Amino acid sequence: MTAARKRNPAVLWILGLIAAIVLVAAAWTSLYTISEWEQAVITEFGEVVGDPVTQAGLHVKRPWQQVRRFDSRLQRWDGRQTTTITRDRKTVNVDVTARWRIDDAKQFLEAVNSINQADTRLNGIIAGAVKDEIAKYDLYEVIRSSNGILDIKTEELSIKLDSGDLEEISVEEVATLGSDLPELHQSTDGAYLAGRPIVLQGILQEARKRLAQIGLGIALEDILIKQLNYTQEIESNVYAQMNAELQKISAGFRSNGKKRAEQRLGEMERELARISSEAEQRAQVIRGQAEAKAIRIYAEAYNQDPGFYRFLRTLQAYDKGLGGNSRILIGSGSPFFDLLNSIDSTDSAAEGNP
């Protein structure tokens, strides 16, 4: 009896220690914390219990319950490239990206269970929304965001000629590519009724509608088009149009250049004719002045020595009349040969009187 009483305090102490450990363990497994960027769902034997826990801080649960935590921050979705057809039957490849977050953790857990599964489900939802929305618009309405590109004035090209002058040739004189593009429709207050922002808004609304119907516990924040690529057929057509337009522009520049060259050549010819006319007039004036001066000199010479003047004029007449291969049929008694005859007479007299 005494020995049993001695053993009881030790047993009680051990039992008390075990109970304390159990209580501490139970308390430890019953407490959990939620961060600012998290929300949690409590499950009991695989079944969801209560509403999602969204408030950050320390919380209590039953020891046998499990805590499933989910990130409340924005998630990025990058899906596969989608091939679709516009309203004007143009095939394009669209690559979009989206940002989403978990809106209802309980619904998210029951529907998709994980981020990877959510991305997989979003692939089909967003791709379907992209196809349906782009099919409502023509290609130019999907590409452009405004009519601003149609309002931009084409800058003039400055071509510096060899002369140093600067000739302005406007591209608008020869370029026509894009001049027939239609404008995006606008409301009376100026708001656009079509264009890439409108298309993206339509895709977002359609994707949200489908998500609400399925109930994945996901909220789509926004959708953006990363790339919109033409198919090979459209690219070839666009390149052909660009090549034809560049050929037209180059032909226009050549035509303008030829016209400018002809204008410059005409101006040069007119300037040359003007200079030649002025030079001829100047030459005639100088010749007239020279002839007048020569006449004056001849007159002075004649007045000083008439015989010498006649002699000089006769020599000049011989030089002009008998120079080169000229043939003149004149009688020997002509006055033209008086000087020669006088020279012959003088020579004969000199020979007769040595």
Last residue of a domain, one of 206, 230, 254: 230
Higher per-residue pLDDT: 148 or 291 = 291
Full residue range of the structural domain in which residue 121 is found? 74-147+193-230
Q: What is the DSSP letter of 53?
A: E
Residues 64 and 209 in one domain: no
Same domain as 239, residue 319:
yes
Quick one: pLDDT at residue 178? 56
Residues 241 and 136 in one domain: no
**The predicted structure's pLDDT at residue 345:** 53
C-alpha 177/C-alpha 174 separation (Å) is: 10
**Residue 218: inside a domain:** yes
98 phi-psi bin (left φ>0, alpha ψ -120 to 50, beta other)? beta
Which pLDDT score is estimated for 26? 60
Domain identity same for 79 and 218: yes
Residue 19 in any domain: the answer is no
At 93, the pLDDT band (50, 70, 90 cuts) reads very high
CA distance 237 to 115: 42
- Name the residue with higher pLDDT: 232 or 110: 110
For the domain that residue 107 is a member of, what is the CATH number? 3.30.479.30
Q: Are 79 and 199 found together in one domain?
A: yes
The amino acid that residue 139 corresponds to is: L
CA distance 281 to 276: 8
Residue 128 lies in a domain: yes
Q: How many structural domains are present in the chain? A: 3
Task: Output the average pLDDT for the chain.
Answer: 78
Residues 6+ positions from 51 with CB-CB distance below 8 Å = 106
Whether 248 maps to a domain, the answer reads yes
Strand partners, 93: 83, 229
- Asked if the structure places residue 96 within a domain, the reply is yes
CA dihedral (52, 57, 59, 63) positive or negative = positive
Domain membership flag for residue 254 = yes
Residue 53 has φ and ψ, to the nearest 5°, of -95, 115
297 is a domain residue: yes
Based on the domain organization, do 260 and 305 belong to the same domain?
yes
This prediction has a pTM of 0.57
Cα-based angle 256, 260, 262 (whole degrees, multiple of 5)? 115
My answer on whether 304 and 223 are in the same domain is: no
Q: Helix 196-214 crosses helix 115-134 at what angle (to 10 degrees)? A: 130
130 and 268 belong to one structural domain: no
pLDDT in tens, 13-39: 776 667 666 666 666 667 788 888 889
Residue 260 has pLDDT above 80, yes or no: yes
Supply the pLDDT for residue 199.
Answer: 93
- Say whether both 265 and 307 belong to one domain: yes
- Both 125 and 204 in one domain: the answer is yes
DSSP string, 136-196: TS-HHHHH-S-SHHHHPPPPPEEEE-TTS-EEEE-GGGT--TTTTPPPPPB-TTS-BSSSH
Please give the share of the chain, as a percent, with pLDDT higher than 90. Answer: 21
Spatial CA neighbour of 248 closest among 256, 238, 259: 256
d(C-alpha 220, C-alpha 226), whole Å: 17
Establish if 1 belongs to a structural domain: no
DSSP E strands in 231-325: the ranges are none
Same domain, 246 and 294: yes
Q: Are residues 223 and 274 in the same domain?
A: no
Mean per-residue pLDDT, 149-169: 49
